[in-house]
């Protein structure tokens, strides 16, 4: 397949322009993208912490533990 030198230059200019636009848009919105990612990570961590707290409070059967039950056997 033969590509004329003028066509190759034009193709390069179009691709360079697209790359420049993409990087400019990325740079322009980088602060918003970072804040969105941080918010997403925080909500994922919060969900993970809520699940671990729920499992720590509940017994394996799924009913809540009564702390008094543990002290009854030790007296």
pTM passes above 0.85 = no
Share of the chain above pLDDT 70, in %: 69
- Coil vs helix vs strand at 64: strand
Q: How confident is the model at residue 21 (pLDDT cuts 50, 70, 90)?
A: very high
Give residue-wise pLDDT tens across range 54-68: 666 655 555 555 555
Integer Cα distance of 14 and 11 in angstroms:
5
3-state secondary structure 9-52: HHHHHHHHHHHHHHHHHHHHCHHHHHHHHHHHHHHHHHHHHHHH
Tell me the sheet residues that pair with 56.
none
| 60 token code pair | 């394996």
Integer Cα distance of 22 and 28 in angstroms:
10
């Amino acid at each position: 397949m033969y590509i004329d030198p003028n066509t190759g230059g034009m193709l390069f200019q179009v691709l360079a322009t697209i790359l420049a636009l993409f990087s400019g848009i990325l740079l322009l919105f980088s602060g918003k993208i970072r804040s969105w990612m941080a918010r997403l990570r925080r909500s994922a961590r919060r969900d993970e912490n809520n699940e671990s707290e729920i499992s720590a409070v509940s017994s394996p059967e799924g009913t809540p533990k009564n702390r008094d039950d543990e002290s009854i056997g030790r007296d």
